[in-house]
């Protein structure tokens, strides 16, 4: 069986505690993953300054070259995996087998990661607003005639990572070029991507000390968040809630992303049907940037019916089917529980499952030994209904009818809003809204990412702080 | 092989005979109107048989069913005091209680006897006679606090303490107050460091796995003069055992132990690299027995190397607790020379409870 080790400053460590990661189809173990005990993580984080020095010795330019080379290695070559090797095909098979994501989507996510590694220079340009990155090599520099200095805020970036989509790993990759070692805690079902990215970067010449990879439990994750000067935390509401007030932790929590049509655009809603379908269903509807809400001032039921008609065409297919568009649930009980929860909420007046009427079949589907939840569109007459502002790990969307004047006070925290309106005042209200994290003005799918416009915080600002610097001229 | 195994098999048989004899003695004591506890005498009144006549050995304890932990929650606690000890000073120790009413167990001298027996298993090199101790573990109404102090005194030393409230730790974890938990842990560790720096006579340490990790981040225990560490209080696995020996405290005598307020103290099989750091505990038979029973059928003992639920039986004149189903599971281990009776390997929380039970810093 494949063994995935812990990486301690890049060096493999086989733990006596292991967890088997099962195949979504049948539950046979696909890999055995070494688990780090809390004390081991704490000990390694205690000496992370040595790892920082190893990475700091390279210039940003050198690291960007390494990332570019790693892009090709990640996507095209065999990479080391605990004494054996893993091809891109192996990677995709394993990734699909343990997460339930169709292989076709795994390939797409792989391509996204490749792009990020290749285009890191442009991404850093966006993150730093065009800063001459040699400032990070020297500690200071001169730009537009002014002294600039940046001080690193941490000797390592912790990342407690999710299972939902491999594409999210693109968010921590820039840390390498920003000279910040990583302490990665992979999702329990998705050790594959962070391990492979790390191996690609090491193979490309990045100091191995830059990579800590610690599959671990709840207490180990807490240790990473407590000990790292800066961390990213991915998770649901209850996972991220205790860390919301810790400024050292960047939260990547629930998205509840939405598309908003306004009074001036609702009449032409049919023009945006493709946008809505893509926002809800691309990547299997598993990302926090997938839309889980479409908020309209009128015509809600018609919009819901049209969406249901389109989305109900998406079928559950075997994971190796090139046309597969939705992911299987690794734990079928979760799918049953989720579906039952939706049904129980539907007993509360004010919401209707339109897809159930259009499709005429159950939401839960069994195909090729896997359990799926089929796309679901809910028409919510009441914005306070329990299904009006929620999200699930499959293509699920609620169409909610709310007067435009009341929308922004009712949408609640929303990761991405795609607002389709030309109304200047409403646009201004949207840009002023604290509820909105990432704002797309115009018909841009919620899941369309511009890498130089990171949502949920700017990694450069998170890892570095500008400091005042005065230097006496040499005489 | 038969010849080689004979001495052990003889020891196993002898231990079993001793256990059955001990069971008859303890049942005779607790169900005797002159010496027994009010609880067991009232219990006997409701039976349609006389336990003293029907229970001839360990296996016959099945006649009494399973001891229920609810019986230990709430009072009157004196109903557990055997009449023979009615005039003795009585301790009460608690277990659990992070939420709701804790379980209480009375003790007169049991905790001292258990730790005196345990003391015989400690090496003089790791735990030198006359050395002082630091007890860095749960205090308050817990048996451990007094028991470790008694162990230190029994070995001619003095025991220093740091306050630690595990119920507060559990609440912090349940509330998701990680930062507060870290502050509390640091508060505890800072006090331990002060004691270690101020008292160079300390050579022996009791602590829990997580506190040992935290302490070792701040200090080299070897340089601080620590020779032996008695580690217990919470679950420990082979990985922690290896990490401790290889990285935390190489060169220090490390003794993992399974303590339980209701049972006593189970010793670890002497370290042997061939065991690959597996932690195998043996109960202090005949004063206590650990039997691994089926997860579904608790009336059947599992086979060797198979997983079963821990069933504890405590058999002392102070406390009789037959066939109590613990919230732990383990693999059944074979008898060894030092302990010619069944042991348990890889002791851990029942899988079905791992989601709901938290293990904090203590």
In a shared domain, residues A175 and A313:
no
* Residues A349 and A341: beta-carbon distance below 8 Å: no
**What whole-number distance in Å separates Cα of residue A79 and Cα of residue A73?**
8
Distance from CA of B27 to the nearest CA of A (A): 42
Which pLDDT band holds residue B290 (cuts at 50, 70, 90)? very high
Interface probe with A: pick from B173, B174, B178, B184, most Cβ of A within 10 Å: B178
Output the DSSP codes for B230-282. Answer: EE-SS---HHHHHHIIIIISTTSEEEE-EEETTTEEEEEPPP-GGGTT--EEE
- B243/A37 CB distance under 8 A: yes
Q: What are phi and psi of A77, to 5 degrees?
A: -120, 170
Query: CB within 8 A of A138, min separation 6: which ones?
Result: none
Q: Hey, how many other C-beta atoms are within 10 angstroms of the C-beta on B337?
A: 9
Per-residue pLDDT band at B362 (split at 50, 70, 90): very low
A47-51, A333-337, A442-446, B99-103: least confidently modelled range: B99-103
Identify any residues that bridge with B265 across adjacent strands, giving them in sequence order.
B259
Sole residue written with tokens 């200071």:
A140
Task: List pLDDT tens digits, range A130-154.
Answer: 899 999 999 999 888 888 999 999 9
Whole-Å CA distances, A6 to A31, A74, A216, A362, B204 = 13, 19, 9, 42, 33
| CATH superfamily, region B109-256 | Response regulator (3.40.50.2300)
Question: What percent of chain A lies above the pLDDT cut of 70?
Answer: 98
Distance CA A317, CA A315 (A): 6
d(CA B258, CA B109): 19
* pLDDT tens digit sequence for B220-230: 999 999 999 99
Burial classification of residue A268, based on how many CB atoms lie within 10 Å of its CB (0-12 exposed, 13-18 middle, 19 or more buried):
exposed
> For B174, what's the count of Cα atoms within 13 Å in the CB-facing half-sphere?
11
- Is some CB atom of chain A closer than 8 A to the CB atom of B334? no
pLDDT of residue B234: 84
pLDDT of residue B6: 65
pLDDT range class, residue A241, cuts 50, 70, 90? confident
Looking at the structure, tell me whether residues A237 and A303 fall in a common domain: no
pLDDT category at A253 given cuts 50, 70, 90 is confident
B217 and A42 within 8 Å at the Cβ level: the answer is yes
Residue A346 phi, psi dihedral angles, 5° rounding: -65, -15
Domain shared by A313 and A206, yes or no: no
Closest chain A C-alpha to B282 CA, distance in angstroms:
22
pLDDT at B292 over 80: yes
Contact A64, A47 (CB under 8 A): no
Residue for token digits 């929620």? A390
In a domain? residue A132:
yes
Q: Is A211 helix (H, G, I), strand (E, B) or coil?
A: strand
In A, what residues contact B, Cβ < 8 A?
Answer: 15-17, 35, 37-40, 42-43, 46, 219, 222, 225-226, 238, 241-243, 246
**pLDDT level of residue B2 (50, 70, 90 thresholds):** very low
Mean pLDDT, residues A417-430 taken together: 97
Q: Does B356 touch chain A (CB under 8 A)?
A: no
* Helix orientation angle between B110-119 and B143-154, rounded to the nearest 10 degrees: 50
Q: Are residues A282 and A301 in the same domain?
A: yes
pLDDT in tens, A271-328: 999 999 999 999 999 988 999 999 999 999 999 999 999 999 999 999 999 999 999 9
Tell whether omega for the bond before B6 is within 30 degrees of 0, i.e. cis: no
Range of the domain at A113: 2-253+456-466
In Å, how far is B277's CA from the nearest CA of chain A? Answer: 8
Q: How confident is the model at residue A401 (pLDDT cuts 50, 70, 90)?
A: very high
Same domain, A218 and A268: no
Note the pLDDT of residue B359: 44
Helices (H), chain B: 2-30, 38-45, 51-54, 110-119, 143-154, 166-174, 178-198, 209-218, 238-243
Q: Would an 8 Å CB–CB cutoff place B231 in contact with chain A?
A: no
Distance in Å from the first CA to the final CA of chain B? 45
Of B178, B242, B276, the CB nearest to A242: B178
Cβ-based contacts of B279 with chain A (< 8 Å): none
Q: How many residues does chain B have?
A: 362
- Interatomic CA distance for residues A86 and A193, integer angstroms: 12
For B239, the closest of A17, A219, A226 (CB atoms) is A17
Number of residue pairs across A and B with CB atoms under 8 Å?
51
Same domain? A183 vs A229 = yes
How far is the C-alpha of A183 from the C-alpha of A303, rounded, in Å? 45
Interior angle at CA A149, CA A143 and CA A153, nearest 5? 140
CATH number assigned to the domain comprising residue A393: 3.40.309.10
Q: Do B178 and A243 touch (CB under 8 A)?
A: yes
CB B222 within 8 A of CB B202: no
Say if A371 falls within a structural domain: yes
CATH number of the domain within which A73 lies? 3.40.605.10
Other beta carbons within 10 angstroms of residue B90's beta carbon come to 15
Q: Looking at the structure, tell me whether residues A239 and A317 fall in a common domain.
A: no
Query: Closest Cα of chain A to B147: distance in Å?
Result: 27
State the average pLDDT over residues A32-40.
96
At A34, give phi and psi (nearest 5°): -65, 140
How many domains, in total, are found in chain A? Answer: 2
Grade residue B260 by pLDDT with cuts at 50, 70 and 90. confident
Task: Give pLDDT, residue B354.
Answer: 58
Mean pLDDT taken over chain A:
94
Q: How far is A37 from chain B (nearest CA, A)?
A: 7
Q: Higher pLDDT residue, B69 or B192? A: B192
Q: Is the pLDDT of residue B358 over 50?
A: no
* Distance of alpha carbon A334 from alpha carbon B36, whole angstroms: 52
Per residue in A37-81, pLDDT (tens digit) is 999 999 999 989 999 999 999 999 999 999 999 999 999 999 999
CB contact under 8 A, A38 and B210: yes
B52/B63 Cα distance (integer angstroms): 11
DSSP class of residue A187 equals: B
Q: Is B179 on the interface with A (CB under 8 A)?
A: yes
Q: Which of A233-242, A380-389, B352-361 has the lowest mean pLDDT?
A: B352-361
Residues A296 and A171 placed together within one structural domain of the fold: no
A241 with A312, same domain: the answer is: no
Nearest CA distance, A198 vs chain B (angstrom): 24
- Chain B CB contacts of A33 below 8 Å: none
Token pair for B256: 């993992």
The domain ranges of chain B are 1-75+274-362, 109-256
Q: How confident is the model at residue B259 (pLDDT cuts 50, 70, 90)?
A: confident
A281 exposure class (CB count in 10 Å sphere: 0-12, 13-18, 19+): buried
- DSSP string for A120-181: HHHHHHHHTTS--THHHHHSEEEETTEEEEEEES-S-EEEE--SS-GGGGGGTTHHHHTT--
- The per-residue pLDDT for B361 is 44
CA distance B182 to chain A (A): 8
Mean pLDDT along residues B80-94: 95
Q: Are residues A411 and A461 in the same domain?
A: no
Per cent of chain B over pLDDT 70 is 95
Q: Determine the average pLDDT of the residues in A368-380.
A: 96
Confidence of residue A453 (pLDDT cuts 50, 70, 90): low
**Sign of the CA dihedral B195, B196, B202, B207?**
positive
Tell which residue, A159, A215, A218, has the closest CA to residue A191.
Answer: A215
Q: Quick one: DSSP state of residue A257?
A: E
Do the beta carbons of residue B258 and residue B208 sit within 8 Å? no
- C-beta atoms surrounding B87 within 10 Å: 8
Q: How confident is the model at residue B212 (pLDDT cuts 50, 70, 90)?
A: very high
Higher confidence at residue A201 or residue B178?
Answer: A201
pLDDT at A221: 95
Under DSSP, the state recorded for A289 is: T
The DSSP letter of residue A453 is: S
pLDDT score of A475:
66
Min mean pLDDT across A403-407, A451-455, B88-92, B201-205 is at A451-455
Asked if pLDDT for residue A24 goes beyond 50, the answer is: yes
- 8 Å CB contact between B235 and B349: yes
pLDDT value, residue B357: 47
Sheet of B258-260, strand order: B258-260, B264-268, B280-282, B343-349, B320-333, B307-315, B288-293
Gap between the Cα atoms of A16 and B276, Å rounded: 8
| Of residues B260 and A216, more confidently modeled | A216
CB contact under 8 A, B359 and A226: no
CB-closest option in A38, A226, A238 to B213: A38
Give mean pLDDT, residues A184-202. 98
């Amino acid at each position: 069986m494949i063994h995935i080790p812990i990486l301690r400053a890049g060096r493999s460590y086989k733990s006596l505690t292991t967890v088997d990661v099962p195949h979504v189809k049948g539950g046979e173990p696909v890999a055995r993953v070494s688990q780090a005990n809390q004390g081991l993580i704490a000990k390694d984080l205690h000496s992370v300054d040595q790892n920082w020095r190893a990475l700091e010795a390279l210039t940003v330019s050198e690291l960007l070259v390494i990332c570019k080379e790693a892009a090709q290695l990640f996507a095209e070559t065999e990479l080391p995996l605990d004494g054996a090797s893993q091809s891109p095909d192996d990677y995709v098979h394993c990734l699909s087998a343990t997460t339930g994501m169709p292989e076709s989507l795994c390939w797409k996510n792989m391509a996204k990661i490749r792009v990020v590694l290749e285009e890191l220079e442009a991404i850093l340009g966006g993150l730093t607003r065009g800063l001459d990155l040699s400032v990070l090599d020297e500690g200071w520099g001169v730009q537009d005639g002014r002294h600039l200095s940046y001080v690193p805020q941490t000797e390592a970036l912790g990342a407690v990572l999710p299972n939902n989509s491999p594409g999210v790993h693109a968010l921590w990759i820039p840390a390498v070029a920003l000279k910040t070692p990583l302490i990665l805690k992979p999702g329990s079902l998705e050790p594959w991507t962070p391990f492979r990215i790390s191996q690609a970067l090491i193979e490309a010449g990045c100091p191995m000390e830059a990579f800590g990879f610690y599959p671990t439990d709840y207490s180990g994750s807490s240790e990473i968040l407590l000990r790292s000067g800066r961390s990213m935390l991915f998770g649901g509401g209850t996972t991220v809630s205790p860390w919301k007030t810790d400024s050292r932790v960047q939260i990547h929590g629930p998205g509840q992303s939405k598309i908003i049509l306004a009074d001036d655009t609702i009449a032409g809603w049919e023009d945006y049907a493709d946008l809505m379908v893509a926002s809800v269903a691309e990547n299997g509807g598993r990302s926090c940037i997938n839309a889980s809400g479409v908020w309209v001032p009128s015509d809600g039921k018609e919009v819901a019916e049209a969406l249901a008609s389109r989305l109900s065409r998406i079928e559950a297919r075997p994971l190796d089917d090139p046309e597969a568009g939705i992911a299987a649930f690794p734990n079928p009980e979760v799918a049953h529980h989720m579906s039952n929860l939706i049904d129980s909420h539907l007993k509360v007046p004010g919401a209707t499952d339109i897809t159930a009427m259009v499709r005429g079949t159950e939401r839960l589907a069994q195909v090729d030994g896997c359990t799926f939840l089929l796309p679901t569109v809910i028409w919510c007459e009441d914005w306070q209904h329990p299904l009006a502002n929620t999200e699930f790990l499959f293509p699920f969307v609620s169409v909610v009818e709310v007067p435009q004047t009341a929308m922004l006070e009712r949408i609640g925290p929303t990761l991405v809003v795609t607002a389709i309106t030309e109304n200047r005042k409403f646009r201004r209200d949207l840009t002023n809204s604290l509820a909105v994290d990432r704002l797309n003005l115009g018909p841009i799918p919620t899941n369309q990412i511009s890498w130089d416009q990171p949502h949920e915080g700017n990694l450069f600002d998170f890892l570095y702080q500008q400091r005042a610097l005065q230097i006496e001229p040499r005489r | 092989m038969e010849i080689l195994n004979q001495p052990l098999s003889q020891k196993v048989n002898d231990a079993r005979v001793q256990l059955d004899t001990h069971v008859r003695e303890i049942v005779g004591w607790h169900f005797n109107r002159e010496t027994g506890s009010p609880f067991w005498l009232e219990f006997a009144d409701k039976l349609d048989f006389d336990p003293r006549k029907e229970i001839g050995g360990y296996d016959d304890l099945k006649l009494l069913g399973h001891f229920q932990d609810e019986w230990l929650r709430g009072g009157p606690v004196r109903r557990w005091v055997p009449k023979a000890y009615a005039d003795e000073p009585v301790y009460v120790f608690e277990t659990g209680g992070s939420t709701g009413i804790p379980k209480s167990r009375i003790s007169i001298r049991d905790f001292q006897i258990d730790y005196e027996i345990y003391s015989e298993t400690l090496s003089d090199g790791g735990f030198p006679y006359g050395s002082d101790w630091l007890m860095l573990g749960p205090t308050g109404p817990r048996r451990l606090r007094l028991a470790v102090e008694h162990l230190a005194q029994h070995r001619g030393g003095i025991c220093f303490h740091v306050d630690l409230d595990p119920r507060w730790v559990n609440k912090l974890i349940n509330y998701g107050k990680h930062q507060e938990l870290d502050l509390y842990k640091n508060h505890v560790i800072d006090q331990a460091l002060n004691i270690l720096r101020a008292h160079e006579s300390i050579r022996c340490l009791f602590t829990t796995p997580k506190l040992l990790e935290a302490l070792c981040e701040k200090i080299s225990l070897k340089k601080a003069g620590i020779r032996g560490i008695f580690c217990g209080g919470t679950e420990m696995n082979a990985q922690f055992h290896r990490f401790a020996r290889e990285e935390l405290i190489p060169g220090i005598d490390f003794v993992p132990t399974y303590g339980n307020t209701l049972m006593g103290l189970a010793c670890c099989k002497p370290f042997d690299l061939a065991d690959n750091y597996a932690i195998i505990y043996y109960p202090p038979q005949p004063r206590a027995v650990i039997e691994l029973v089926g997860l579904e059928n608790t009336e059947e003992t599992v086979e060797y190397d198979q997983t079963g639920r821990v069933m504890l039986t405590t058999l002392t004149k102070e406390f009789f607790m037959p066939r109590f189903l613990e919230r732990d599971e383990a693999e059944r281990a074979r008898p060894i020379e030092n302990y010619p009776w069944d042991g348990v390997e890889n002791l851990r929380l029942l899988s079905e409870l791992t989601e709901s039970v938290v293990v904090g810093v203590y």
